[in-house]
């Protein structure tokens, strides 16, 4: 069940959702909250040119994300005049707002695009919108401001789109979780673990 | 709520860090979090995780990350000695 704006506000008041900073009144709609684009973003550098072709195998046990990040992740900032997002390009962005869903909140969320941007060919995730209970949660520190949401932003349209820092970039939709998650409950279930090596 | 020992390396942006957690087979799982998401104890970094299950036979612990790591596995099996404090096995 999707939470209405009133239910989201009630959940914020009860502390089962934390959003920091608190979204302003214009960020709300009847069933979602808009989040804004942070200044920093990262683009992957092309691997072609010069040497042998490289491939990435994320499911391989040898996959080394820190090395990939160091060698091919280019950290950039959106300038005051905006960043021209070219067609057929991709970047990793973050929301300004940080989100925390406590383990026992029995709430999950989905980050979704905004139709105004979608109509231009801009998407904000690559089929990975789900935010599980426990996101950004440190139970020992209830005041922890938590983590921003990383966005996988792509432009499949033919137009140059200018992205500005602090522009509304995505919306957050909250849903009730039916039942208590095993993680939050820390209960037992019928599985047998592997033998430690 | 528990903490698991992790190694760290620079993230994609300055405020971020990559925490590396090894599963029971030694495979590394990378998860990117804000730097202050980690807890430091005696010079070591610990990542908050949720405990899902403890295998009573092997004492292996099934944990769940706060969000999906780059390996794609939300839940992994780890050895109990990777946690900041032991957890009791279910009888």
Domain of residue A39, CATH code: 2.70.40.10
Instruction: Provide the token pair at A104.
Output: 């026992």
pLDDT at res. A65: 87
Instruction: Provide the token pair at A42.
Output: 């990262």
pLDDT category, A144, cuts 50, 70, 90?
confident
Domain containing residue A10: 5-45+67-178
The closest CB to that of B77, out of A42, A138, A193, belongs to A193
pLDDT at res. A178: 84
Element (H, E) at B77: strand B75-78
Q: Under an 8 A CB cutoff, do A194 and B26 touch?
A: no
pLDDT at res. B85: 80
Question: Is residue B47 in some structural domain?
Answer: yes
What Å distances lie between residue B35 and A64, A137, A190, B42, CA to CA? 19, 14, 35, 17
Q: Under an 8 A CB cutoff, do A147 and B77 touch?
A: no
Q: What is the mean pLDDT of chain B?
A: 89
Cα separation, B59 vs B87, in Å, equals 9
Annotated catalytic residue within A7, A112, A152, A175: A152
Cα separation, A30 vs A9, in Å, equals 11
Element (H, E) at B3: strand B2-10
Contact A121, A89 (CB under 8 A): no
Question: Is residue A114 in some structural domain?
Answer: yes
Question: Is residue A11 in some structural domain?
Answer: yes
Question: Is residue A10 in some structural domain?
Answer: yes
Instruction: Tell me the percentage of chain A whose pLDDT exceeds 70.
Output: 88
Question: Is residue A140 in some structural domain?
Answer: yes
Domain count, chain B: 1
Question: Is residue A33 in some structural domain?
Answer: yes
Question: Is residue A94 in some structural domain?
Answer: yes
User: pTM to 2 decimals?
Assistant: 0.83
Cα separation, A88 vs A71, in Å, equals 22
pLDDT at res. B56: 85
pLDDT at res. A192: 58
Counted residue by residue, chain B has a size of 91
Q: Collapsing DSSP states into helix, strand and coil, what is residue A151?
A: strand
Strand A130-131, strand A73-77: pairing: unpaired
Domain containing residue B75: 2-82
Of A62-66, A73-77, A143-147, B41-45, the poorest mean pLDDT is in: A143-147
Question: Is residue B87 in some structural domain?
Answer: no
pLDDT at res. B91: 45
Q: What is the mean pLDDT of chain A?
A: 88
Domain count, chain A: 1
Question: Is residue B44 in some structural domain?
Answer: yes
| Residue A40 clears pLDDT 70, i.e. is over it | yes
């Amino acid at each position: 069940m999707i939470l209405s704006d009133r239910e989201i506000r009630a959940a914020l008041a009860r502390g089962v959702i934390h959003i920091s900073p608190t979204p302003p009144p214009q960020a709300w709609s009847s069933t979602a909250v808009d989040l804004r684009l942070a200044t920093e973003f990262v683009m992957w550098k092309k691997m072609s040119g010069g040497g042998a072709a490289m491939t990435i195998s994320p499911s391989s046990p040898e996959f080394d994300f820190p090395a990939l990040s160091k060698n091919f992740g280019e950290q950039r900032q959106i300038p005051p005049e905006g960043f021209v997002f070219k067609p057929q390009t991709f970047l990793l962005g973050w929301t300004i707002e940080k989100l925390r869903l406590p383990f026992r909140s029995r709430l999950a969320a989905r980050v979704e695009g905004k139709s105004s941007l979608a109509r231009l060919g801009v998407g904000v995730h690559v089929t990975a919108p789900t935010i599980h209970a426990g996101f950004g949660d440190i139970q020992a520190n209830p005041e922890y401001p938590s983590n921003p949401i990383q966005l996988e932003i792509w432009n499949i349209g033919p137009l140059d789109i200018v992205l500005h820092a602090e522009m509304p970039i995505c919306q957050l939709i909250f849903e009730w979780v039916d039942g208590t998650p095993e993680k939050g409950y820390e209960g037992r279930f019928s599985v047998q673990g592997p033998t430690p090596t | 709520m528990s903490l698991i020992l992790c190694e760290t390396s620079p993230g994609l942006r300055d405020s971020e860090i990559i925490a590396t957690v090894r599963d029971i087979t030694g495979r590394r799982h990378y998860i990117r979090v804000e730097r202050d998401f980690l807890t430091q104890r005696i010079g070591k970094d610990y990542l908050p995780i949720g405990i899902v299950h403890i295998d009573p036979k092997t004492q292996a612990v099934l944990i769940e990350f706060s969000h999906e790591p780059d390996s794609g596995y939300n839940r992994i099996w780890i050895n109990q000695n990777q946690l900041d404090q032991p957890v009791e096995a279910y009888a």
